[in-house]
């Protein structure tokens, strides 16, 4: 008859064997669904890395899923997301758009003045970004209102004073709702897809901020409330400012 110690040892070996088989099956199931997929064939030979967490260069973004890609020689890959021309009205009642942003880097977000949740937490953090980058003359903050019928220039001006926003290089924009929403959805990919209907009332803003370079290519997407994202935003803006000098 097998002793208690032998039965315990035999049982332990059985458990270990089962665990080994389970691990082997898991690893074999982790193979890419398409082993023949070559990102360079899809995006070109200038693509160096897709998700290596590099800190020496900023990615471009391609596709509906905003896939980040790093390119050689700072050349934007085919299909890189680019912000089109736009012109709205700022908190001082002045026209403001891509003409005023020519040759400048900007950090964009979407908000509305009557927001009681995300915006009161987000705007002070963006204010810190502004205060940390006062030495950069080629940087601007751009905040688009998603309730422009409420957020007139006068309302935006009062909101800027309430939030202690320095309008030297921070522009709160209002304009035609359809144009703002189209810009948000098509270029920034800012619309959170929660509801099935995509009507005018279905825009869902978030805590995201979007970094755009001098050529108006999207170069960074951040969660402003992330514990480390604020420092990353500041670092990336400085990196982008140096990267594009003489570009």
Quick one: pLDDT at residue 223?
A: 92
Instruction: State the Cα angle at 219 between 240 and 204, rounded to 5°.
Output: 135
Quick one: pLDDT at residue 105?
A: 97
Confidence of residue 204 (pLDDT cuts 50, 70, 90): low
In contact, 82 and 213? CB cutoff 8 Å: no
Q: Which residue has the tokens 């009205």?
A: 89
The length of the chain is 247
> Among 6-10, 166-170, 207-211, which is the least confidently predicted range?
6-10
| Residue predicted with more confidence, 7 or 148 | 148
Quick one: pLDDT at residue 36?
A: 45
- Under DSSP, is residue 51 helix (H, G, I), strand (E, B) or coil? coil
Q: Which residue has the tokens 């020689």?
A: 73
The domains of the chain are located at: 1-31, 34-73, 81-243
Q: What is the rounded average pLDDT of the residues 128-136?
A: 95
**94 phi, psi to nearest 5 deg:** -105, 145
Q: Name the DSSP letter for residue 202.
A: G
Residue 50: count other Cβ atoms within 10 Å of its Cβ. 12
> Among 1-15, 23-37, 200-214, 223-237, which is the least confidently predicted range?
23-37
- Per residue in 47-75, pLDDT (tens digit) is 333 344 566 789 999 998 899 999 877 78
Using alpha carbons, select from 125, 89, 149 the residue that is nearest to residue 225.
125
| Residue predicted with more confidence, 244 or 177 | 177
Instruction: State the Cα angle at 130 between 53 and 135, rounded to 5°.
Output: 90
- Under DSSP, is residue 106 helix (H, G, I), strand (E, B) or coil? strand
Q: Model pTM? A: 0.74
Domain boundaries 81-243, corresponding CATH code: 3.40.30.10
- Per residue in 89-109, pLDDT (tens digit) is 999 999 999 999 999 999 999
């Amino acid at each position: 008859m097998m002793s208690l110690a032998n039965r315990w040892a035999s049982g332990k070996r059985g458990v270990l064997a089962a665990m080994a088989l389970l691990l082997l099956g898991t690893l074999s199931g982790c193979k890419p669904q398409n082993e023949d997929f070559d990102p360079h064939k899809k995006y070109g030979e200038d693509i160096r890395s897709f998700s290596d967490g590099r800190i020496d260069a900023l990615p471009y973004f391609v596709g509906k899923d905003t896939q980040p890609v790093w390119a050689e020689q700072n050349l934007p890959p085919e299909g890189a997301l680019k912000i089109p021309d736009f012109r709205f009205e700022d908190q001082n009642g002045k026209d403001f758009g891509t003409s005023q942003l020519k040759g400048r880097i900007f950090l964009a977000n979407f908000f509305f003045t009557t927001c009681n949740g995300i915006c009161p937490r987000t705007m002070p953090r963006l204010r810190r970004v502004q205060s940390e980058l006062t030495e950069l003359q080629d940087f601007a903050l751009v905040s688009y209102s998603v309730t422009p019928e409420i957020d007139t220039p006068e309302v935006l001006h009062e909101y800027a004073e309430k939030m202690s926003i320095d309008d030297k290089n921070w522009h709160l924009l209002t304009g035609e709702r359809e144009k703002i929403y189209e810009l948000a959805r098509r270029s920034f990919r800012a619309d959170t897809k929660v509801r099935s209907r995509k009507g005018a009332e279905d825009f869902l803003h978030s805590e995201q901020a979007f970094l755009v370079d001098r050529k108006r290519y999207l170069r960074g997407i951040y969660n402003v409330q992330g514990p480390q994202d604020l420092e990353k935003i500041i670092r990336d803006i400085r990196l982008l400012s140096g990267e594009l000098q003489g570009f």
